Amino acid sequence: MTHMIRLIQITLMCLMVMSGTQTHAQVMLPGTNASESAVTLPDPLTTEAANALISRLSDSEVRSLLLDQLNTQATEEAEAASAGESEFVYHATTGAWSSVTTPIERLPLLYTGQATAFSNFFDRIGGGLGLVKLLGYMIVVFGIAAAAELVFRRLTRGWRILPPTDADNMTLRETLQLLSQRLTTQVIAVVIFVLVARTVGRTILPDNLVPVVQLVGMYLIGFPRLFLAWAFFVFAPLNPEYRLLNVTSKEAKALCFHNFWIAVLLGFSAAILIFNADNGVPMGETRLGFWLSLSLHVYLVWVIWKYRDAMVSMMRGYDPNVTPMENRVARLYPWFAIVLVVLMWWVVNIVVSYENFALLATNPQYKTMTLLLFAPLLDTAIRGIVRHATPAMKGEGAVAERAYHSTKRTYVRIGRVVVFGLVLLAIADFWGMTPQAIATAGVGARLAAAVIEFLIILSFGYLLYEAVSLFINSKLAAEMTASGFDPETQEVGGDGGGAGGSRLSTVLPLILLVCRSAIVVIFLLLALGNIGIDTTPLLAGAGIVGLAIGFGAQKLVSDVVSGVFFLIDDAFRTGEYVEVDGTMGTVEKISIRSMQLRHHKGPVHTIPYGEIPKITNYSRDWVIMKLRFTVPFDSDPNQIKKIFKKIGQELLEVPEFQEDFLAPFKSQGVLEIDDVGMVIRGKFMCKPGTQFMIRKEIYNRVSAAFAEAGIDFARREVRVALPTMEQGQELTEEDKAAIAAAATQAAQEQIADPGKESR
């Protein structure tokens, strides 16, 4: 009882402290009125005061008090969450729209406010004479800075000029090295210009002119030139052999031009807003930032629409092996870019409706757009790195070649997922979505963070999915290459009996299917749980389905279990020719519950494992082929034996067959004598799947050798003894009828037993 009272004390104190706003509580004692039973919690609530209160209450009264506090706290949290959600919806719709209409309403203030800023500036620099002095100072300052930059450019002229080269013989590393070298020198030149202008300005300029000169030098001269240097690095308008993106020279020059003017607009926006703030006109007063942002976004949409074909070409890249999905993504990319620009503009309006101008101080919207609009460059870099970093093809043949190309595509997909995750993390950092900021942010920030975490979890899941697929597929390709088995190049309509794949190549596709399914289910549940979706009903539903399968699909369970034991026993492999209860065919595909056999005439038989009584495998390890030849009674068996031996030795020297023989073709002597002639048998041992071509060649060579030796194959004859023939008389009608009857009887016997001569 003591422990229970202590636990209630601690719980009561914690609840009172967490509620914060509730310092009084009332409990109804049995048989009393509310006024008589009102209990006032002491303030402050110390341990002694809690002990005194609990000593006056029964256990049921304490439980009732705790339940009241829990209900009150839950109600307050629900109301706060509901208020947060409704607040976010308001700012995302009505609030953002008011951020658009307010600048329109304040449009007259824009002119008066800007006039005020210029008037205050003129008064501060001393009017028209001060403006003339400012222009003179700028000429001096920027002239000295330009001279310093010119000296640096003369010293590094060899680094800035790209040497002519053959694009087909240049590696990606060499291209990036030379482009980075030029970019570095251009960036250093601009930095020298800005630093020299800043230093000289602070030295010779009056204090009231220093901020203006710095704004002009940094934002209107330095920033656009840095942006232009980056554009030259990406598009190489004058050096197509160094161009990283797949565009024409005309498009590259135009895109560099527009990149420069976009940077000018960005720099002017930053400079004018700082200028106005320094001269007594805050940014929120005239909403000049809205009009500058709108102008920039409209300009971007126009550029994207005008050069949409170039953007599609950039997204496709230089790789000729573009998949249909990559082609569709490339065609959709300009539309994605336009939607992105419009969406970023609307997000800015949402942030403005929150009056969170500090978040926009670092221009996260422009950083986000720049990162996403240069997605073609990132994709080109990924494909280039994969093309130059993928190991050489292992082995030879169609299987190895397909595995090599599949590996390259997998590396590209893995690279894209990694870059996608890094881009998401960078965007989250741009918008200040750190764990500390999210903990104190509103519903909108938490929702955005949940979406980003959802995408990151899916990215990790897909990365693991591709990594497992790459590992298993590489093992599968190695096994198939080593065994020489390729299911895609198997002869269609052949006789069957060919060698199949290895045991590992048969099991690996099933392992791949299981691993992929497990990864998809696990990471999908993790991602859904991360965004607040309760996955317990899904797991319960899966359990119910499993229970239903266990009770209602016993045959399915039997098939699966039987298939497991067949695979453990290595009874068959993919590509082997087997017989299952009278059904023959090549094992074309296996699944968890059944196998598919393709007959050499085309039909496909699907056989559940649970219905297989036994399996006869005709393709395991080796094959013995026995051939029968019927020759006349007067033939010499020894002569035929020598002929067979000679043919066997000759075939061992034929390049097409010499690797397939395990034992040469030779004679087994006279097998039997029937009513036609002597049956002589020959045999050979070879690898599975090669016996039919060898048999055909042996038939051709035996036929030619017999013809050369004067040996005829025996034929069935019908002899009819007629007394009239012995007396030299001509055939009568009765004799002819007897001959026809005997021939008919012999033919019927042949039809009734067609395999007699071949056994």
Average pLDDT per block of 10 residues along the chain, 759 residues long: 42 42 37 42 61 65 63 53 60 83 85 87 82 88 92 83 70 81 91 92 85 89 92 88 87 92 91 87 80 91 93 83 82 90 88 78 82 78 71 58 69 79 80 56 57 76 80 68 54 51 63 80 78 65 58 61 68 76 77 75 78 77 82 84 86 81 83 80 82 84 85 69 55 66 64 47
Among 61, 63, 75, 55, CA closest to 11: 63
Q: Quote helix, strand, coil % in the chain, to nearest 5.
A: 70, 5, 25
Write the CA distances from 339 to 251, 305, 314, 373, 464, integer angstroms: 22, 11, 18, 11, 31
Q: What is the token pair recorded at 64?
A: 């009732």
Paired residues of 586 in beta bridges? 577, 598
- The pLDDT of residue 144 is 93
- The pLDDT of residue 670 is 82
- The pLDDT of residue 80 is 46
Give dist(CA 304, CA 335) in Å, integer. 9
The one-letter amino acid code at 594 reads: S
Q: What is the number of other CB atoms lying within 10 angstroms of the CB of residue 308?
A: 16
Among 117, 60, 436, 502, CA closest to 278: 117
The pTM for the full model equals 0.59
Paired residues of 589 in beta bridges? 596
Residues 6+ apart with CB under 8 A from 721: none
Give dist(CA 192, CA 186) in Å, integer. 10
User: Does residue 327 sit in helix, strand or coil?
Assistant: helix
Q: What is the token pair recorded at 444?
A: 């909108």
Q: Is the peptide bond before 44 cis (omega within 30 degrees of 0)?
A: yes
Write the CA distances from 172 to 316, 401, 548, integer angstroms: 17, 23, 57
Longest dimension (CA), the chain: 155
CB of 490 closer than 8 Å to CB of 577 = no
- How many degrees, rounded to 5, is the angle at CA 156 between CA 151 and CA 158? 135
- The pLDDT of residue 63 is 63
Chain position carrying tokens 């043919």: 647
- The pLDDT of residue 81 is 44
Give dist(CA 219, CA 216) in Å, integer. 6
Q: What is the token pair recorded at 414?
A: 């893995």
Supply φ then ψ for residue 657, to 5 degrees. -120, -10
Give dist(CA 508, CA 515) in Å, integer. 10
Give dist(CA 472, CA 463) in Å, integer. 14
Give dist(CA 647, CA 661) in Å, integer. 13
CB of 677 closer than 8 Å to CB of 630 = yes
- The pLDDT of residue 196 is 93
